Structure 1
Amino acid sequence: MFGHSLYKEIHHHLFLFLAMLCFWMKSYFAFLYGFHLDIENSVQSFILFITPLSSTLFFFGFSLFFTGKLHKFAVIAIDFMLTAILYANILYHRFFNDFITAPDIMQFNNFSQLSGSAKALAHPTDLLYWLDVIIIIGCAFLTQTPLSRHNKRPIASVFMVALMVFVVNLTLAEGQRTQLLSRAFDRAKLVKLLGLYNYHIYDTVINIRTSTQKAFADSSDATQIKNYVKANEVPANPEFFGKAKGKNVILISLESTQNFLINAKLHNEEVTPFLNQLAKNTFYFNNFYHNTGQGKTSDAEFLIDNSLYPLPRGAVYTTNAHNKYEAIPALLKKFGYTSVVFHGNHKSFWNRDIMYRTLGYDRFYSEKDFNVTEKNSINYGLKDKPFFQQAFPKLKNLKQPFYAKFIMLSNHFPFILDHGEASLERADTGDGVVNRYFQTARYEDEALEAFFHQLKTSGLYENSVIILYGDHYGLSDNHNKGLAKALHRDTLTRYDHYQLQKVPLFIHIPGMDGKRSKTMETVGGEIDLQPTILHLLGIQTEDNIVFGSDLFSSERESLTVLRDGSAISNQYIYANPEQTCYSKSNGDIVDLQRCTKIRERAKQDLAYSDKVIYGDLLRFLKNEDTK
């Protein structure tokens, strides 16, 4: 009797069971092969197998609230939406080696401009991720219409089983990683042990929780952080303080430019001959790291203007664009500076048009201010050479002194140039992205050389502090095999990963080129540029909330903190979340206790910086200053 009843129930819901089974298996194989998750033991293999099941039962269970054709439509709609989430994460992971967060969804206005990157990331076999959706749609027409009435018993059963599977999943996951849910920064671990869809639910809850911090913040929080920053403050170097007082500042963002390109050769040719020469004639920092998170280029901009860290999830530019900040453009207004940005992309990308006004910029020259054609643009906008050619007359006509930022584009994933524009042959690594990366880096180098020639002939060069910085990595860990071959290495280790987070930094200071300029060994990051720039202009930062320190200060600690909680000093590299301590000089693993100091500094800096942004704490300090 029970067997007959069970058979009847399964037959009655055959369409739904087929959809759930297909989606479960598809998700499992996607977790296994699409994300390359590091499975350490048999328990984690079992967890990976069951993680999609609770989500499958939970979401598809809602289709049981509908009857007849509406039930079929609900099943198809749920299958399509969940597949879209899965596939979006697969593409995102291929590029960023990370997973989508709730704040990323707020950047939906960026998505229309990502078609070039998405096309390069897509594989022909990706059609398999959508095959079950097609099959389910076909079955909807071939099977009889089920569920002519509501039946509460199977609905309750589905959600009860989903809950039971989730409890088993969470119990096993906690056994593999204690305090898993309190370690929200380790998204790879969350996806591996909780599953992609459970991770997204958890991430949404975290996003709601952090969004409420602003409402409960008060001035005592700001005072506490100001005292912490004050305790870590270092004085400016008297030799450099005010050395460029009243001078222009030209800031150039080198898109996706990693430091290994400097002095690198391909086919016996220098990849970046102009930057190589610049490293000999200006202050070149060879231990400079990016501190960016998911916001990438926008994070680098935020770091430099504010000396605050980006957020662990999403981008400040899109989630906290209406906060109060003490950014360079706003601070320089008091000294008669005009602040502008040049960028050959759409003004709303990364919410720049809104954020720049918040930071105090006077003018944003975006795509609409340039003559952009099909011939002179590619990928994300205007190519670097025509970009500088068209931007220079606008720069030259600015009232001085000015603070001008240039955001380059051509050396951006997927690193493509039009036919005949590459002056360097492709590398031969078996990875097309790596092969093209060296070509676009050369194109970027040539564009910079031409721009510097314009600056020198116009007289702006000797009247300006000129800073060039790599904004973030160009090649993620997903391209390690090809990059290892390009670097003539057998393989790249986790220690190498941290070395590859170095980006170049060049600072030209009027009157200090030549003999007085040199390679600077201090470990630093983008977080340090705001106080460095202000001190060169003779502006004190002792009353500001800054988490960086002047790169020229003889008393600064040689240290930088990465957004994932890792920290790098002149002696050690603390790797987070694996909690490993490396010797910086040779990559040997050493006693974790040697990294205790820099680990705690990283933890505290990031926590306080996040508190400033989530709580919009600078509004309180601004009010106190006004009083």
Structure 2
Amino acid sequence: MKVTKKIRKQLVSNIDVLIFFFSILFFDYYFRSQLAFTTTNSRLIFVNIFIGLFLSSFLFLLGKKTRLVIGSLILLILSLLCFCQNLHYNYFTTFFSFSKASILKEFFQVKNEATGKITLDLSTYFIPVILFILSNCIKGKQIKYKPIIKISSFVFISILSTVCLILTFSNYPNASKKSESDAYLYETLYNKVRAVERLGLYSYTIKDAQLTLSNKVSNADEEKALIDLYIEEHGYTSETNEYTGLFKGKNLILILCESLSNIVVDEDLTPTLYMMQSQGINFNNHYAPVYQSATADSEFISLMSQIPSIENGPLAYDFYENTFPNALPQLFREIGYSANSFHSFKKEFYNRETLHYTYGFTYLYDWLDLNLEKRPEFVEAYNWIHDRELFTKAIDATNENASEPFFDFFISVSGHVPYVRERYELEYDLWQTIVLHGEAGEKYSTEALCYLAAQKTLDTGLEALIEKLRNTGQLENTVIALYGDHYPYGLTKSATKELFTNLKNDYEIYRVPFIIWTPELTESTTIEKVTSTYDIMPTLCNLFDINLDGHLITGRDALSQKDGLVIFEDHSWLNDRAYFNATKGSVIKLDPSITDQEINEINDQVFEEIQISQSILTTDYFSDSK
């Protein structure tokens, strides 16, 4: 009885430490359950136990009040870590890295984007903090142990757990192929989702902090020599076809369409988009992979046809001083075009102004330069300038300040979240959308209706653009190419399910429009082969007779006979024959005849191309070509 009573007294005195320990285990378990990751990985369970023991042994040294403060702070940090990473995954289907800290200011400018992804179940992460505080406050007087007992217990447990963790981190399974090696995955975190799923959130966070803080020392000359060899072997080779030079000498307007998806192209809802798709060159199986800076990276991919930063921080902040001599605006300027970009938001957002000048644009016009109208009730990053205003003012600026032929790059923004009725700029387009689909609750929710209306503003803008070009006599001599920058990841899960009802596979959410149109086209052309944002630049170069031979191009001319390949941030890929999910290690064979050997060869190709592209950025490879 005395022994039992003593044990019970010890447990009550340290109930807060016990709750603290099990909270460490709970965080990871609940986090993995939320994301549908496996919760039975024995290695992860042991890692969590060792981390819990190490932190709990430290708390054992402290008095009651100090224990309350330190323990609450640690648990709050861990609950915020899980909460934020869960929210980030819900939004971007990947995890945040400390290397992305430079982009946080963008998030706080458009923080309303994430509110729709916050659900009640995420508040569960904060329950352990509350339980720990309550247990510490109501447990009564804490037993005081002799210093030698506390210190020896701490030293023993901390050394034991630290040694076990070091042995775990240094003994991940290796493999001859890097893409199959957990050891390489841990050392580089090249695939964030795979790293969290296989190694655990705690291991990922510790290693991510280490990689971000460490200065990676590399042999730039050696890396550049490898890039030279890669380009020599894989350099772009142009193929002349019936479309080569078709638009030579014409003006080009390239439009990045915010969150545009194929589901909105409809004869009634978006008649101008529908007309352009029906009468122009329509790439019917086009995909827009999403990288860490979303729209900014889509700009880079469409203008450079190269893979953006994956292993380091955002390209817009970590590599804006690099040299990009092969960017589309620079290539057009070399053949006598003017090249300017136009955006209806602030030019400093995403460090866009500096980056666009690096690409070769002469000037980036933003909402101040274009004197775009904003009502008194305008709320920044909640309301957005109507695309009609951007497109028409951009043509005025072009005709006033540039000579023909011209290359204009429009970055639309009307299609941006939030998808709410309070956005006054959606008023007319929302009314027309409701006429077609009924009020909220009849067919679609308010959010879904507002998304459709936000995309209808793009269509209204395109209608105004075509009319403007017709009135200025430039329409016949102008080509309009437009593409979706990414799928509408700002939608809540419920609205996504409402709108995307025919998805057979997860990757199909990335399917977006890519259309090239001009009145000169006498018959429509539909390209059914898989294409991606990477193919935009080489396709346009072929149409305007710009030679890319010898350049390092990730994409290909989508009007040629070359096979397309979509490369995703996590090293997954899609072509006409298969989809390989690198995170899950699963394959969907679209063509039953494709062999496992062919799939492995493409895996190796994608892995090597991503590594080379990262080296190009970190070494500023093209600076030698100045």
Same fold (TM over 0.5): yes
Does residue 305 in structure 1 map to residue 303 in structure 2? yes
Which of residues 512, 518, 521 in structure 1 aligns to 2:525? 518
The corresponding residue for 1:331 is 331
Contact 1:282 1:513 in 2 (8 A): yes
Is 1:353 aligned to residue 353 of structure 2? yes
Q: Is the 8 A contact 1:427 1:436 kept in 2?
A: no
CA contact (8 A) 1:292 1:300 kept: yes
Q: TM-score, structure 1 length as denominator?
A: 0.82
Q: 1:244 aligns with which of 220, 244, 247?
A: 247
Q: Does 1:507 align with 2:516?
A: yes
Q: How large is the Cα RMSD of the aligned pairs?
A: 3.9
Q: Following TM superposition, by how much is the alpha carbon of 1:220 offset from its aligned partner in structure 2, in angstroms?
A: 1.4
1: CA distance, partners of 2:224 / 2:32:
45
Q: Report the residue type matching 2:275 in the other structure.
A: Q
Alignment match, 1:321: 320
Of 600, 606, 609, which aligns to 2:610?
606
Deviation digits for residues 396-447 of structure 1 (CA, Å, limit 9, x no counterpart): 3231233322222232344334364412235868877556433333333223
Call closer, same or farther: CA 1:581–1:86 in 2, change over 3 Å.
closer
Measure the CA separation in 2 of the matches of 1:245 and 1:200.
51
- The residue that corresponds to 1:104 in the other structure is 100
**Matches of 1:353 and 1:156 in 2, distance apart?**
54
| Amino acid across the alignment from 1:78 | I
Name the amino acid aligned to 2:299.
E
The reply on whether 1:153 has 2:155 as its aligned counterpart is no
Unmatched 5+ stretches in structure 2: none
Kindly indicate whether the alpha-carbon contact (under 8 Å) linking 2:305 and 2:554 is maintained by their aligned counterparts in 1. Answer: yes
Distance 1:81 1:43 in 2: 25
Contact 1:468 1:507 in 2 (8 A): yes
Q: Greater CA deviation, 572-581 or 138-147?
A: 138-147
Determine whether 1:28 maps to 2:29. yes
Which amino acid counterpart does residue 464 of structure 1 have in structure 2? T
CA contact (8 A) 2:420 2:446 kept: no
Alignment match, 1:528: 535
Q: Distance in 2 between matches of 1:120 and 1:478?
A: 6
Within a 5 Å distance, the mapping from 1:531-570 to structure 2 comes to 531-553=538-560, 555-570=561-576
Residue equivalent to 2:582: 576
Q: Find the counterpart in structure 1 of residue 420 from structure 2.
A: 416
Q: 1:573 to 1:464 in 2, by over 3 A?
A: same
Structure-1 separation of matches of 2:114 and 2:508: 28
Q: Do structure 1's residue 372 and structure 2's residue 374 form an aligned pair?
A: yes
Counterpart Cα distance in 2 of 1:61 and 1:396: 71
1:301 shift after superposition = 0.5
Report if the CA contact (8 A) 1:574-1:580 is conserved.
yes
- Aligned partner of 1:266 in structure 2 is none
Structure 2 partner of 1:18: 19
Q: For 2:593 and 2:126, how far apart are their aligned partners in 1?
A: 44
Distance 1:556 1:350 in 2: 34
The match for 1:193 is 198
- Name the SS for the 1:467 alignment partner: strand
* 1:120 partner SS: helix
- Say whether residues 1:76 and 2:67 are aligned partners: no
| Correspondences of 1:280-291 after superposition (within 5 Å) | 280-291=278-289
SS at 1:382's partner residue? coil
Q: 1:473 to 1:210 in 2, by over 3 A?
A: farther
Q: Hey, what's the Cα distance between the residues in 1 that align with 2:282 and 2:455?
A: 18
Q: Determine the C-alpha separation between the residues in 1 that align with 2:577 and 2:350.
A: 36
Q: Quote the Cα distance in structure 2 between the aligned partners of 1:61 and 1:322.
A: 47
SS of residue paired to 1:469: strand
Gap change, CA 1:9 and 1:305, over 3 Å in 2: farther
Instruction: Go from structure 1 to structure 2 and tell me whether the alpha carbon gap of 1:300 and 1:123 turns closer, same or farther (over 3 Å shift).
Output: same
Q: Deviation digits for residues 438-483 of structure 1, max 9, x if unmatched?
A: 333333322322233223222333333321011112259984x765
Matching of residues 105-254 of structure 1 within 5 Å: 105-137=101-133, 151-163=150-162, 166=165, 179-183=181-185, 184-207=189-212, 211-213=216-218, 217-230=222-235, 233-237=236-240, 239-254=242-257
Question: Contact 1:247 / 1:465 at 8 angstroms: preserved in 2?
Answer: yes
Matched, 1:471 2:485: yes
Q: Which residue identity lines up with residue 526 of structure 2 in the other structure?
A: T
Q: Distance in 2 between matches of 1:65 and 1:446?
A: 67
* Distance change in 2, residues 1:85/1:390 (3 Å): farther
Alignment of 1:435-450 (within 5 A): 436-450=450-464
Q: Secondary structure at the match of 2:89?
A: helix
Q: Name the SS for the 2:345 alignment partner.
A: coil
* Aligned CA distance change for structure 1 residues 22 and 235 (closer, same or farther; 3 Å): closer
- Residues 237 and 548 of structure 2 are in contact (CA less than 8 Å); yes or no, is this contact kept in structure 1? no
- TM superposition shift of 1:253: 0.8
1:562 is aligned with what amino acid? F
2-structure distance, mates of 1:210, 1:288: 38
User: Within 1, Cα distance between the matches of 2:291 and 2:390?
Assistant: 27
Report the CA distance shift for 1:36/1:368 in structure 2 as closer, same or farther (over 3 A).
farther
How far the C-alpha of 1:390 sits from its partner, in A, is: 4.4
Match of 2:29, as an amino acid? Y
SS in 1 for 2:558: coil
Kindly tell me: are residues 160 and 545 of structure 1, through their superposed partners in 2, closer, same or farther at Cα, counting changes over 3 Å?
Answer: same
Aligned amino acid, residue 565 of structure 1: H
Q: Is the 8 A contact 1:12 1:147 kept in 2?
A: no
TM-score (normalised: structure 2)? 0.82
Question: Once the two structures are superposed, what CA deviation does each residue of 1:104-152 show, in whole Å capped at 9, x if it has no partner?
Answer: 2221211212321122222244433334334545666666689897953
User: Which amino acid letter does the alignment assign opposite residue 604 of structure 1?
Assistant: E
Q: Which runs of 5+ in 1 are unaligned?
A: 264-268
TM superposition shift of 1:297? 1.0
CA distance in 2, matches of 1:331, 1:345: 26
Match of 2:408 in 1: 404
CA offset at residue 380 of structure 1?
A: 6.8
- Aligned counterparts of 2:88 and 2:443: Cα–Cα separation in 1: 23
How much does 1:617 deviate?
1.8
